[in-house]
Each structure stands twice: as structure tokens, then as C-alpha cells.
Structure 1
Amino acid sequence: MLRLSGPRAAAIANALGAPALRPRHAHYARLRDADGDVIDDGIVLWFPAPNSFTGEEVVELQGHGSPVLLQQLVARCIALGARQARPGEFSERAFLNGKLDLAQAEAIADLIAAGDNRAARAARRSLDGVFSRRIDAVVEQLVLLRIHVEAAIDFADEPLDTLGGAQVRRGLEQARTDLALLRRDAERG
């Protein structure tokens, strides 16, 4: 499979011989070189922005899997104005376009590099947002503590229902414990 991302993805697919593309539909195509000779035939899928992994226009070209034919398709796409992505660039684009948070983008790299089932499962959980949700919960807990402390300082003379010092300390200790567990889990993979 060959994946194109960016504003010219559909135009490049059309120049290869893809028919008029409908979003998220599989289209049979005879993919051709500059002389019109068939390189390969296969399936073309189009995902218009922002409804794609990267948040950009994305086209997937699915051929027979021959390395020789794939290299010919890559060369033809480059001749039409594409370039090969850097390692991790699709995840980077997804992050920059708000499709992934940083923990999820890093989880993709971890998933690709996973050397065993345990590492793959941990990366999958991070990609699913488990790690991010745990971080968000600690942040929310700290923000609530801050609100109570600021209210107690700003309105010291008012009869407000704020947390006492012992409750604030317990909340901070809980946040410290939660962060230590997050760090431990992140180091384990």
C-alpha cells in the first residue's frame, strides 16, 4: 500500500489513472506511468480533509504488493510532485492538525518499535488515550485544589465552603501518588 497525504493527493491519484473519487469509497483503478502503460491495478481510497488520519487530504493506493511495482508507483508519485515521508511524519501531521495528542503520537512510534506483546499492548493503551486520560484526571484534580486554595486566600473573610489545609495536603499527596504511578507505568512500557 502507498499512502499520500497533502493538498495534491487526489490530483496525483487522478494523474495515475484513478477515476473520479468519492470520499471513503473503494475505487478500482489501473495505475499508469507517464507513457500510459499500466504499472499495477488495484484499489484507490480517498479521505478528504479533515476526515483522515493526518487531518489532511489522504489517498491510499492498494496494489498487488510487488516491491518492484510499489517502487514504480513511488517513482511515478514523486514525478507528479509527491515526496517520501520522513519516519513518523504522518503521526507528526496528525498531531499538528489536532488528530492526536502528543502521548498518542509517541504511542504510535512505541507500537511500531514494540519488541514483544507486553510492549505492544502498553503502546496500544496509550494510543487509545488511556495514558492521556490519566494525565487529564491528575491535571483536573490539581486545578480543583488550586481553585479551593485561591478562593480561601481571596475570600478569607467570607464564609465560603473551601477545603481545609489537611484536605489540600491529602489532595496533593494523592496527585503525587498518581503521578508516580503514571511514571512507573510509562517506564515499564
Structure 2
Amino acid sequence: MALRGAVRAARGRWARPLSSAGTPVGTPVGTPAGTGDTIYALSSAPGRCGVAVIRASGPGSRGALQSLTGTPKIPPPRVMALRRIRDPHSAETLDRGLVVWFPGPRSFTGEDCAELHVHGGPAVVSGVLQALGRVPGLRPAEPGEFTLRAFRHGKLDLTAAEGLRDLIGAHTEAQRRQALRHMEGELGRLCQRWSHTLTQVGSAGPGAGKN
């Protein structure tokens, strides 16, 4: 339900019209679109697992990745690299895991993003999240906020966002197929065709088609 709430928020007080460049109207040139802050959260399912994915999104993602790996050198974009993950204050090793750097706009949210793929034990995940919380400029993400940012950057429309939520919650093959079609834009394209048809009918006026 968090995703549905994020989509509603996008329609409401957080949503702003987008310019032709895809950034919210009023955003200064050179400023990343969105709120301008950097968020982080566990992106995989909570609980004990083999691998947990922790994501950061926003202009501070690169610095966060550098802080937790203890080096200014980051991997090439979209290439996984094995790194020792450390607490930036104590330099204590928290885990050895894979890190990935996604410079915007070629990322899930459209912003600079970093991902840490770590062992999924509760102590490891908690330690990495706490370490990210000690990096200046980062804050925990609100429920559904990564998807909200993807929507605001034009990476997902509302029907695709709903499709993503349904795909995550799918239990049957039929549910999976339908959710995937929605996420890939099938419903969105249908709605666009309906909108175009209704607009044409409305612009023709009430007397259209009469002799």
C-alpha cells in the first residue's frame, strides 16, 4: 500500500508540472530534479535472506558510496564491483559485498543512485543502514519514495507504478502477466488513446456529425 500512497502524493502536494526537459517547473538549471536531498532504504524484502539490496538516490549517492567503501574511486556505471563496506566514522568493516553506481538519468529514479548488495543478515543490514544514516545529507526514504521519484522524473507513469506494485505482490501466473503488461505501459497507452479520442470528440462540438 506504500506504493499507492506515493502515487497519490505525486498527484497532490509533491507533484509539480514538468518542463520540456523533464524537470519540475521552477527547478534551477543544473539542479537535479526532485527534492534535492538524498534518500536511502532497504529495497529488497525485509527479513533474513541471502542477499539484501540497499539503495541510495539523490545528489549525495556518489559521496555515500565513496564514504562506505573508503575510497574516492567508484566502479564504472552499471558495473558490479566487490568492495569492503565500512562504517564511515569508525572504519569498522560491516561486510564485503557488491556495489553498483547508476549516474542519473539512467537509473530507476532518474537521479544518481547507488546500490549495495550485502549479505541479508539482520545485523549486516542494520549496520549498513545505520552507517548511511551517519553520512551527512542523507535521510531514510519514506515508504514508496523511490517510486515517487521515478514517477516525477518520467521513468514511470501512474499505471506503470501500479503495475510495479502488482508485480511485486503477484501470486499467480495470470497476476504476473497482467502486472507486467501494466508496468510495460500497455494500460497507459490504452488510456492515452482514450484520452485522444475523447479530446477529439469534445473539440468537434455538440453538433458534430449532424446534417
For 2:86, the equivalent position in structure 1 comes to: 32
Aligned length: 155
Distance 2:143 2:162 in 1: 12
Provide the TM-score with structure 2 as the length reference. Answer: 0.66
1:41 aligns with 2:86: no
For 2:57, the equivalent position in structure 1 comes to: 5
1:121 aligns with 2:173: no
For 1:85, the equivalent position in structure 2 comes to: 141
Structure 2: segments with no counterpart, 5+ residues = 1-52
For 1:136, the equivalent position in structure 2 comes to: 192
Name the aligned partner's letter for residue 56 of structure 2.
L
**Which has more helix, going by share of residues?**
1
For 2:77, the equivalent position in structure 1 comes to: 23
Indicate if the aligned counterparts of 1:25 and 1:45 stay in contact, CA closer than 8 A: yes
Residue in structure 1 matching 2:107, options 10, 30, 52: 52
For 1:64, the equivalent position in structure 2 comes to: 119
The percent identity for this pair of structures is: 35
| CA-to-aligned-CA distance 1:97-120 (integer Å, 9 cap, x gap) | 111111111222222233433223
Q: Secondary structure at the match of 2:143?
A: coil
Shift of the alpha carbon at 1:18? Answer: 5.4
Structure 1: segments with no counterpart, 5+ residues = 154-162, 167-189
**Higher RCO structure (Cα 8 Å, ≥6 apart):** 2
The structure having more radius of gyration, on CA atoms, is 1
Name the aligned partner's letter for residue 29 of structure 1.
R
Q: Secondary structure at the match of 2:94?
A: strand
Distance 1:99 1:144 in 2: 28
Provide the TM-score with structure 1 as the length reference. Answer: 0.73
1:105 aligns with 2:132: no
Distance 1:114 1:5 in 2: 26
